[in-house]
Structure 1
Amino acid sequence: MSATKPFLNPNKSLPPPLILYRQILRTHRHLPAAHRALGDAYVKAEFKRHKDVDNPVHVVGFIGQWQVYLEELKKQMREQKKDKIGVIIPKLGKKLDLDSLEKFSEQQIGQF
């Protein structure tokens, strides 16, 4: 990924927060149970924490990054493979590049 590539397509409109929230939780239904429980809890906590934010820049950034997450998760779900007996082998997540990692705060790094 190049350093100038935006995380979010500026030509694409953002969905309303509640619709995005529901889409994420619906997509999580296809995750393994442990991933789903962790993901659902995190999404619910983050959306609850940000529900009273009224700064438009923060709202657009928040919704935009969750939209990127949803699109990436859907892409990874489409790319999953099945083993010889038909069991889905989950290949979820992606490695962080060094540039992104350097931008994290100490609190964000502590969440790993």
Structure 2
Amino acid sequence: MRVLGDEYIKAEFRAHRKVDNPAHLIGFLTEWQLYAQKVEGDSWKGEKIEEGKLQKLSDEQVHQLYELMQAIQKRGSDDDGSSS
């Protein structure tokens, strides 16, 4: 999952490269640091996004999150299928 997450975060860094709103930058970097800390172990598995954070997402961000969820689920089902 780390490879998938790392590719996603690289794309997000590229997308935020020209953002000049300090509040957006601080929020993005804070969430990135939390991500980096969590991927060191398995504590993130099964974790839910806080309702307040979810409500702040734009429609595009919700769509990206949904696509990420689908990619994770697909990768999990592919892993399950290849081990049988």
Q: TM-score, normalised by structure 1?
A: 0.44
- Provide the alpha-carbon RMSD of the alignment: 2.5
Query: Which residues of structure 2 form unaligned runs of 5+?
Result: 67-84
Q: Deviations 1:80-109 (Å, cap 9, x if unpaired)?
A: xxxxxxxxxxx7251234444333332222
Larger Rg over CA atoms? 1
**Does structure 1 residue 104 correspond to structure 2 residue 70?**
no
| CA–CA separation in structure 2 for the residues paired with 1:95 and 1:60 | 22
Structure 1 pair 64/110, CA: closer, same or farther in 2 (3 Å)? same
Distance 1:51 1:103, change over 3 A: closer
Distance (Å, rounded) in 2 between the aligned partners of 1:56 and 1:104? 17
TM-score by length of 2: 0.55
Q: How many residues align?
A: 65
Separation of aligned partners in 2, 1:54 and 1:63: 13
Deviation, structure 1 residue 110: 1.8
> Following the alignment from structure 1 to structure 2, what is the Cα–Cα distance between the partners of residues 95 and 58?
22
Larger helix proportion of the pair? 2
Q: Which has the higher contact order (CA 8 A, sep 6+)?
A: 2
State, as a whole percentage, how many aligned pairs show the same letter. 42
